[in-house]
């Protein structure tokens, strides 16, 4: 039994469906944002309304309401995201609004739901997974007629929670809240964060799965994206042999999120082929951008890969401090390093292959899928050329520049140099008197710095020759490097410091970091103390070096 159509919902407004005494609008003269339910209207849902963990067959979602919390309080919010949705951010300071974004006050007319999907985890098919602690409130047609899915993460149990409680702890919620916004301002495709709610409750977590569970503060993040559809959404019905459901999902995805691919002359086979090509292209761009700024996702399972090429599900992620292609922030991945920094391009290709397998039954031949996977490789290489040229401040990539960059990366790795600091300082190098002394503040190990000092000087000599032969003038070169080599990243220890303060009731550092990360490429003299090496104490502190999937 499919949920009845909700086409009439689009005629109504947000204050009708969510219990506001005063509507959240920016201006009394402007219309309230329109609510929509395209996912529910177009796709089959779970007829079973019981909120009990179970295998859900033949359905792409289950309707479920958030579980109320005791003392919700909005401790941080993002004005820019509120503006995207057409919401008045001044209302976010009110208790009534906290009740909404904690899931406490949801009108009976609203239809929250959790989505059903599967996935490969650490290379193994894991079967049904689904939104175990994420509940979508609605879709909002916001600014410029854009569609935004509004989702509460940590809002309680769903039919996909398995043995979990559907909650999220404050530490992981702060990390997702801050990093999704930091990534956006780095110009990297990502989900966004609207609110961070302290639930006023304690929940139990075994942070490192070592038999030492502890009570932690609970929280809920309201995150938004055009869609949270993942590779795993297609995998689950495909693995179950439900070709009809796979096709319905793909047709929906193209109609609402890739409509630009559709025209009267496009056949269904061509449409599906073009869609897969674009997913591959978006994924290639995303991974190359992670490499540009030194971001490690940490758990690139297929259920954490967006078909829109967004960074989603911020779990045990991390940022490269001393450059190390073999580093992974995920304790679960420490032994084999499947999701290590340098392996992310390969894993993205592997995940795209799993997506291709999931939709292969909709193609008359495998050839377009193989072509799409090759397109990923080609696009990744093109993006890599762009990244190399941008980080080095060159007009365009030349073949020899790969060797120049590879030599530098090997030196950074051997000398334990900080990736972010080194590249940011490189833009200020004196082209007439280049010296490794300029990078004094970028090294973690004094002995290794001295050992490789002359090697860096030799590399700088080659670099200066290349720059002087380039077409760019010095000002243009500086601007390109400034806009591609961030000065400020959300270093793990900075996020952990904010978490430690928040656990004591002080959320000021969350707000401060949010402000800093809004302008990561600017000099921000007042925040220059954050442009510094990771402190020695953070090298082994939990949350600063290694993290788990526990949240």
Catalytic residues: 303
Helices (H) and strands (E) in the chain, counts: 17, 13
Spatial contact of 81 and 191, defined as CB atoms under 8 Å apart: no
Backbone angles phi, psi at 481, to 5 degrees: -65, -40
Backbone angles phi, psi at 105, to 5 degrees: -115, 100
Backbone angles phi, psi at 491, to 5 degrees: -60, 145
Structure tokens belonging to residue 172: 């992981």
Name the burial class of residue 322, with classes exposed (0-12), middle (13-18) and buried (19+) by CB atoms within 10 angstroms of its CB: buried
| 531 half-sphere exposure, CB direction, 13 A CA radius | 21
Spatial contact of 440 and 422, defined as CB atoms under 8 Å apart: no
C-alpha–C-alpha distance, residues 43 and 113, integer Å? 12
C-alpha–C-alpha distance, residues 118 and 130, integer Å? 6
Backbone angles phi, psi at 302, to 5 degrees: -65, -25
Identify the CA nearest to 388 among candidates 377, 411, 404. Answer: 404
H/E segment holding residue 196: strand 192-205
Q: What share of the chain is helix, strand, coil (3-state, %, to 5)?
A: 45, 15, 40
């Amino acid at each position: 039994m499919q949920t009845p159509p909700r086409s009439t919902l689009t005629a109504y407004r947000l204050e009708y469906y969510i219990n506001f005494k005063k509507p959240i609008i920016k201006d009394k003269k402007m219309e309230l944002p329109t609510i929509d339910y395209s996912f529910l209207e177009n796709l089959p849902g779970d007829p079973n309304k019981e909120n009990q963990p179970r295998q859900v067959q033949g359905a792409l979602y289950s309707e479920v309401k958030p579980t109320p919390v005791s003392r919700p309080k909005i401790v941080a919010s993002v004005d820019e995201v509120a503006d995207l949705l057409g919401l008045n951010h001044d209302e976010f300071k009110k208790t009534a609004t906290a009740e909404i974004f904690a899931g406490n006050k949801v009108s009976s007319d609203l239809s929250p739901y959790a989505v059903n999907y599967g996935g490969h985890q650490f290379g193994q098919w894991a079967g049904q997974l689904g939104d175990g602690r994420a509940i979508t409130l609605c879709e909002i047609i916001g600014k410029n007629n854009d569609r935004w899915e509004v989702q509460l993460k940590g809002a309680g149990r769903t039919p996909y929670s398995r043995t979990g409680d559907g909650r999220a702890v404050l530490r992981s919620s702060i990390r997702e809240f801050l990093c999704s916004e930091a990534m956006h301002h780095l110009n990297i495709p990502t989900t966004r964060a609207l609110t961070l709610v302290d639930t006023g409750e304690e929940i139990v977590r075994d942070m490192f799965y070592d038999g030492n569970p502890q009570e932690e503060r609970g929280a809920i993040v309201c995150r938004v994206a055009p869609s949270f559809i993942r590779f795993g959404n297609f995998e689950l019905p495909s693995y179950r042999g439900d070709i009809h459901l796979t096709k319905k999902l793909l047709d929906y995805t193209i109609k609402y999120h890739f409509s630009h691919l559709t025209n009267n002359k496009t056949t269904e086979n061509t449409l599906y082929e073009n869609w897969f090509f674009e997913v591959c292209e978006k994924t290639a761009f995303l991974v190359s951008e992670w490499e540009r700024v030194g971001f490690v996702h940490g758990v690139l399972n297929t259920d954490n890969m967006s078909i829109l090429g967004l960074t989603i599900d911020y779990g045990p992620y991390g940022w490269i401090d001393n450059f190390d292609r073999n580093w992974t922030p995920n304790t679960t991945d420490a032994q084999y390093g499947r999701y290590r920094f340098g392996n992310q391009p390969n894993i993205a290709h592997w995940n795209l292959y799993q997506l291709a397998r999931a939709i292969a039954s909709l193609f008359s031949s495998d050839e377009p899928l193989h072509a799409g996977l090759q397109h990923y490789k080609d696009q990744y290489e093109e993006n890599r050329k762009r990244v190399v040229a941008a980080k080095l401040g060159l007009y365009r990539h030349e073949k020899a520049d790969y060797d120049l960059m590879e030599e530098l990366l090997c030196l950074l790795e051997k000398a334990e140099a900080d990736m972010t600091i080194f590249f940011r300082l490189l833009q200020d190098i004196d082209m007439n008197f280049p010296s490794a002394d300029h990078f004094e503040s970028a090294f973690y190990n004094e002995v290794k710095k001295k050992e490789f000092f002359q090697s860096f000087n030799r590399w700088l000599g080659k670099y200066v020759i290349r720059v002087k032969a380039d077409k760019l003038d010095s000002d243009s070169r500086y601007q390109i490097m400034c806009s591609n080599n961030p000065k400020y990243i959300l270093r793990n220890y900075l996020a952990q410091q904010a978490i430690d303060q928040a656990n004591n009731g002080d959320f000021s550092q969350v707000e401060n970091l949010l402000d800093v990360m809004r302008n990561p490429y600017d000099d921000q003299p007042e925040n220059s103390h954050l442009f510094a090496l990771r402190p020695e104490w953070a090298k082994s502190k939990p949350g600063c070096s290694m993290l788990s999937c526990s949240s």
